[in-house]
Amino acid sequence: YLHGICAMRMRLGARIPGISGRIVGGGDAPRGRWPWQVSIQYNGHHFCGGSLISAQWVVTAAHCFQYSYPQFIYRVILGEYQLFNPSPSRVASSVRQIIIHPNYSSQSADVALVQLTEPVRFTDEIRPICWLGSSDSSPDNDMCWVTGWGTTDSNVSLPSPKTLQEVQVQLIDFKACNTLYNIDPDPQIGRDPVKPNMICAGYAEGKKDSCQGDSGGPLACDHNGTWFLTGVVSWGDGCGKPNRPGVYIRTEAYGEWMWGHMQQHCLSLERT
Ligand code: ARG
């Protein structure tokens, strides 16, 4: 039985995903379908995605914060749809703290928690996604969705007004993914680059993928009508290339770490 950890369950309603036909190889998301998707910005510029997991916490990738700027220069934009055409549901939050996973090193444990300064109010366009604690079994559904405002191909930016993109991708476990990455291995990447705490998503033929600027964003899978955060966009070899699926942090492997920090925050609130 899959229970997972949910600040609010998001059921699949009338908006059942249809197969859309950019992200790489995807299409415009319907407004409000992915209410946990956030844009992390610096100076008004989007640089990474992220997922809302509770009223005050966002999960993203650690590499989004590779330059150690102070947290007050960042804004987390929630409830947004078109980056160049702010929607009425848009909320901009400042950041209280950024917690980088202690084992983060270039491509390993590429996960970070961002605490918003104040809890956000949930709306139809702003809702958290469920996530898996380490004792939960993974959803059996292997078709999932990745979303973001990243490039639509290596070095091809999303055209204005920058509508949130979605694409359906197939989960590929780390062993099968290494088999693909070991075909004509890139010398810079080497053999068996995918670690057990990562999961891939995409297709052997390529074409559908996340890309630059999608980093930190959600790989979401539905299980009996509830959406779960299965992965966090981390890295890839180019975008949408054959035998090079996108590589994601497997959130299940970091559930305890995430939960630990969120609880610690509650305890410190009780004390104050
Ligand atoms: N590292 C990239 C970023 O910072 C995301 C790469 C995802 N690549 C892929 N082929 N899925 O935005």
Secondary structure (DSSP) of 145-182:
EEEES--SBTTBPPPTT-B-EEEEEEEE-HHHHHHHHT
Residue 14 has pLDDT above 50, yes or no: no
Interval 220-245 mean pLDDT: 94
Of all atoms in ligand 1, which is nearest to the CA of residue 238? 10
Residue 74 CA neighbour count, 13 Å, CB half: 24
Percent above pLDDT 70 for the chain: 88
* Most informative mutation of 151, 214, 239, 244 for ligand 1 (most atoms within 8 A of CB): 214
**Averaged pLDDT of the chain:** 90
Q: How far is 206 from 9, CA to CA, in rounded Å?
A: 32
Task: Spell out the alpha helix ranges (H) of the chain.
Answer: 174-181, 255-271
Whether the CB-CB separation of 153 and 239 falls below 8 Å is answered with yes
* Most informative mutation of 23, 67, 234 for ligand 1 (most atoms within 8 A of CB): 234
Question: Is the CB–ligand 1 distance for residue 47 below 6 Å?
Answer: no
Q: How far is 148 from 232, CA to CA, in rounded Å?
A: 11
Residue 262: the pLDDT is 87
Weakest-pLDDT range from 60-64, 66-70, 200-204 = 66-70
Residue 18: the pLDDT is 44
Whether the CB-CB separation of 154 and 61 falls below 8 Å is answered with no
Confidence of residue 269 (pLDDT cuts 50, 70, 90): low
State the distance from the centre of ligand 1 to the C-alpha of 91, rounded, in angstroms.
25
Residue 61: the pLDDT is 98
Question: Is the CB–ligand 1 distance for residue 233 below 6 Å?
Answer: yes
Residue 103: the pLDDT is 96
Of all atoms in ligand 1, which is nearest to the CA of residue 214? 12
Question: Is the CB–ligand 1 distance for residue 25 below 6 Å?
Answer: no
State the distance from the centre of ligand 1 to the C-alpha of 87, rounded, in angstroms.
26
Question: 63 an active-site residue?
Answer: yes
What is the number of other CB atoms lying within 10 angstroms of the CB of residue 61? 27
Ligand 1: residue whose CA is nearest its atom 6: 235
Confidence of residue 178 (pLDDT cuts 50, 70, 90): very high
Question: Is the CB–ligand 1 distance for residue 218 below 6 Å?
Answer: no
Residue 20 has pLDDT above 60, yes or no: no
Weakest-pLDDT range from 52-56, 132-136, 167-171, 204-208 = 132-136
Among residues 215, 223, 234, 265, the one annotated as catalytic is 215
Q: Give the residue, 243 or 131, on which the prediction is more confident.
A: 243
Question: 110 an active-site residue?
Answer: yes
Ligand 1: residue whose CA is nearest its atom 11: 246
Q: Give the residue, 66 or 106, on which the prediction is more confident.
A: 66
Residue 4 has pLDDT above 80, yes or no: no
pLDDT tens digit sequence for 234-263 = 999 999 999 999 999 999 999 999 999 988
Interval 2-23 mean pLDDT: 57
Q: Give the residue, 6 or 200, on which the prediction is more confident.
A: 200
